Amino acid sequence: LSPAVELPDGWSTEAESRMDGAWWASFPDPALPELLDEALANNWNLAAAGARLEAAAAEAKIAGADVWPALNLTGNAARQEQVLTFLKDPVTGAPLKNVSNSFGVSLGVSWELDLWGRVRNGKSAAAADLQAATADYAAARQSIAAQTMKAWFAALEAQEQAALAQETVASFERTVERIRSRYERGLQPSLDVRLGLVDLADARTVAAARQVARDRAVRQLEILLGRYPAGRLEAAGSLPDPPADVPAGLPAELLSRRPDLVAAERRLAASLRRNASARRALLPRLTLTGSAGRSSSELGDLLAGDFSVWSIAGGLLQPIFQGGRLRAQVSRSGALADAALATWANSVLTACAEIETLLASESFLRVQETEQRIRAEEAAAAHAQARRRYERGLTDVNTLLSSQRSAAQARSAWLDARRQRLDARVDLHLALGGDFGEARPSGGSAS
């Protein structure tokens, strides 16, 4: 299995500029650095990823130990009694007994001469697994940073939406007072008052829901920060403006930048090494063993040179028949390597699709935010005009209330559009594996 992944020279949606440093530093929000530091230090999912990385490091060390000789120190002590039934004690007639002691200490060494690279390939596979785990940890850090940023933006938007809902309630209360005043002067029917009260009740319902949404957003952020979700974090301030420019990187650069793609490539390398190790397991193995020590029937004699013993030996093992186990292991490792290659290729294409989609959505989201801002400004102006005309008796209450609802809805939609654009920019950084860097034309496709 060897599919080629053809990557274009550049993204379909072009942009040019450069951004240095940590990618989250491009967001003009002074609260972000402290929040990100706290999340990266205290997030429990990230702590679990760090523990898995430590376990992978230990596994790599275990696998690498087979390359070196094994050295063991052993000691033994024994006491033996032998009953000589054919010899009798001349006095008692009981069988004679022979009691003996034995003491020994030895230093043994064993080593497989890795003639064909079976052990070395296993060590290389474990090292590649460790590199994949390291990339997984880097990906987890970026993911936690992105989740924290989006949760912070969600909390800021929820706070602003809650404040807007309270302003809307106060605005409808003033409108109802104006309508009631005209009704009491006989200028409007009681129906107008009831219509105003209906919209006021709706505004209060929305305000309560917005407060619930605000608390939910804050608690989600607190979980990411490793705090107890008490809903007490203060989301002060307003949504920041997104960075102005969106540079384009090169698809080939993703292979060395995106941690998840690095992890997939390293797992592919590990699977190929394991397949090589399985193939070499069919070949003969040569092992050397040796030992040196002391042995005596008296414990004190172990320090004397006259009781030294030693041995050295070599062994050759050629597998002949094991029920097809070794060849099945070759087939299994080869299939796993094919699967790892397919997974890596699909990951590359998926990453490219993510980036192309996010780059294309940047212009749409920019236009959407601009139009929502214009809508909010025009709706506010229309409501102000409708209020003045209503007070002079030049328009009906339905126009007044409708313009007021439209103004509140437009401001809410503008806030949502701003937060969507910020989230999309965070997702783009995550898809690119970090900051934007500098576009470098490659002059051809990469496989």
pLDDT at position 89: 65
Amino acid of residue 403: S
What DSSP character marks residue 11?
-
Q: How far apart are CA 410 and CA 157, in angstroms?
A: 14
- Count how many residues are written for the chain: 447
pTM above 0.85, yes or no: no
Query: Greatest CA separation found in the chain?
Result: 143
pLDDT at position 294: 58
Kindly report, residue by residue over 222-260, the tens digit of the pLDDT.
999 999 999 999 888 899 987 766 665 555 565 578 899
| In contact, 152 and 223? CB cutoff 8 Å | no
Question: What CA–CA distances, in Å, run from 260 to 1, 256, 257, 338, 430?
Answer: 21, 10, 9, 18, 10
Work out the percent of the chain whose per-residue pLDDT is above 90: 50
> What is the distance of C-alpha 215 from the center of its chain?
26
User: What's the mean per-residue pLDDT of the chain?
Assistant: 83
> What is the distance of C-alpha 151 from the center of its chain?
16
Task: Burial-class residue 339 by CB neighbours within 10 Å (0-12, 13-18, 19+).
Answer: middle
Q: Find tokens 């003009």 and name the residue.
A: 28
pLDDT at position 109: 78
Give the count of beta carbons closer than 10 Å to the beta carbon of residue 169.
Answer: 20
Q: How far apart are CA 100 and CA 106, in angstroms?
A: 20
Q: Find tokens 């909010």 and name the residue.
A: 376
- Banded pLDDT at 441 (limits 50, 70, 90): very low
Q: How far apart are CA 216 and CA 232, in angstroms?
A: 11
> What is the distance of C-alpha 328 from the center of its chain?
34
What DSSP character marks residue 65?
G
SS3 185: coil
Asked whether the predicted pLDDT for residue 114 surpasses 50, the reply is yes
Kindly report, residue by residue over 276-331, the tens digit of the pLDDT.
888 887 888 777 777 665 555 555 555 555 556 667 777 777 888 778 888 888 88
Asked whether the predicted pLDDT for residue 69 surpasses 70, the reply is yes
Q: What is the DSSP string of 243-286?
A: PS------GGGHHHH-HHHHHHHHHHHHHHHHHHHHHHTTS-EE
Domain boundaries, the chain: 23-432
Amino acid of residue 341: L
Amino acid of residue 404: Q
Q: Find tokens 């094991």 and name the residue.
A: 322
Kindly report, residue by residue over 397-434, the tens digit of the pLDDT.
999 999 999 999 999 999 999 999 999 999 988 988 87
Q: Find tokens 């102006």 and name the residue.
A: 381
SS3 7: strand
Asked whether the predicted pLDDT for residue 21 surpasses 50, the reply is no
* Of 207, 209, 231, 206, residue with least CA distance to 221: 231
Pick the CATH number of 23-432 from 3.50.50.60, 1.20.1600.10, 1.20.120.1200, 2.40.30.170: 1.20.1600.10
